[in-house]
């Protein structure tokens, strides 16, 4: 486990998401067998009629398996949950802290195609504050698994509420779905916006301030 990760905190967040009914349907104790994934993907390619003896294709199954385990689905392993040490709000900050335009790359769990977008995350400090980069890392962790955007938004919100011990958290995600753009309806121009707000952000004035600041 990297010193930038905290599997103990990750396990607690996992239990919180289960309690709220918003956890991804998966077995958190499963250790992926990279060799088996490689073999399975090779079979898919062969079934499609691809020539794996070709120099361009021969190493694709290994690359895909490595990518699945170590990159785009690393958020299925709570040992990869980012370390999120909170500190006392010694300065008495009582205004919104907003991290906007956070890069958000995920994978649609229905068609295994990319979801590409950005997240805006804010909270109003109570007794605790969190390093800014930790909000980015929490977004990236939950994005790094098969997802639906609505659940992803709720998971980020719930994790931050749990870590900061406050309901004063707001999340907006704006994303484009390759499963909409490249197949099915093939709508190249649409995007999807989801939000989850709690606590003080339920106040229309605070909510509007969050939305306005997120899009300046």
Could you say which of 23, 109, 176, 209 is catalytic? Answer: 109
Residues forming a β-bridge with 73: none
23's tokens? 């956890």
Establish how many alpha carbons lie within 13 A of residue 75's alpha carbon, considering only the half-sphere containing its beta carbon. Answer: 23
Sign of the torsion formed by the C-alpha atoms of 149, 165, 102 and 94: positive
Could you say which of 120, 155, 161, 177 is catalytic? Answer: 177
Could you say which of 111, 150, 176, 209 is catalytic? Answer: 111
Residue 165 is a catalytic residue: no
Could you say which of 71, 110, 165, 215 is catalytic? Answer: 110
Phi, psi of 168 (to 5 degrees): -80, 65
Give 140's contacts (C-beta < 8 A, 6+ positions apart).
75, 102, 103, 104
Give 62's contacts (C-beta < 8 A, 6+ positions apart).
38
Residue 177 is a catalytic residue: yes
DSSP assignments along 125-190, one per residue: -SSEEE-HHHHHHHHHHHHSSEE-HHHHHHHHHHHHHHHHT-S-EEEEEEEEEHHHHSSTT--SS-
Residue 111 is a catalytic residue: yes
User: Which of these, 140, 151, 72, 150, lies nearest to 103 by C-alpha position?
Assistant: 140
Could you say which of 140, 147, 149, 155 is catalytic? Answer: 149
Residue 179 is a catalytic residue: yes
Residue 147 is a catalytic residue: no
Could you say which of 38, 84, 99, 108 is catalytic? Answer: 108
Residue 120 is a catalytic residue: no
Residue 99 is a catalytic residue: no
Residues with a catalytic annotation lie at 108-111, 149, 177, 179
């Amino acid at each position: 486990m990297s010193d930038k990760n905290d599997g103990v905190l990750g396990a607690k967040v996992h239990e919180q998401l289960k309690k709220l009914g918003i956890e991804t349907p998966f077995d958190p104790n499963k250790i992926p067998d990279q060799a088996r994934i490689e073999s399975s993907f090779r079979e898919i390619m062969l079934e499609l009629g691809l020539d794996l003896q070709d120099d361009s294709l021969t190493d694709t199954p290994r690359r895909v398996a490595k990518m699945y385990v170590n990159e785009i689905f690393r958020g299925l392993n709570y040992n990869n949950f980012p370390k999120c040490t909170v500190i006392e709000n010694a300065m008495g900050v009582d205004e919104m802290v907003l991290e906007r335009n956070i890069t958000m790359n995920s994978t649609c769990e229905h068609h295994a195609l990319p979801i590409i977008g950005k997240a805006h995350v804010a909270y109003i400090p109570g007794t605790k504050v969190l390093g800014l980069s930790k909000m980015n890392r929490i977004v990236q962790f939950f994005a790094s698994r098969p997802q639906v955007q609505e659940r992803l938004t709720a998971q980020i919100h719930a994790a931050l509420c749990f870590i900061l011990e406050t309901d004063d958290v707001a999340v907006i995600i704006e994303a484009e779905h390759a499963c909409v753009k490249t197949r099915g309806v093939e709508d190249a121009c649409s995007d999807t916006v989801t939000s989850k707000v709690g606590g003080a952000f339920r106040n229309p004035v605070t909510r509007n301030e969050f939305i306005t600041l997120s899009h300046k």
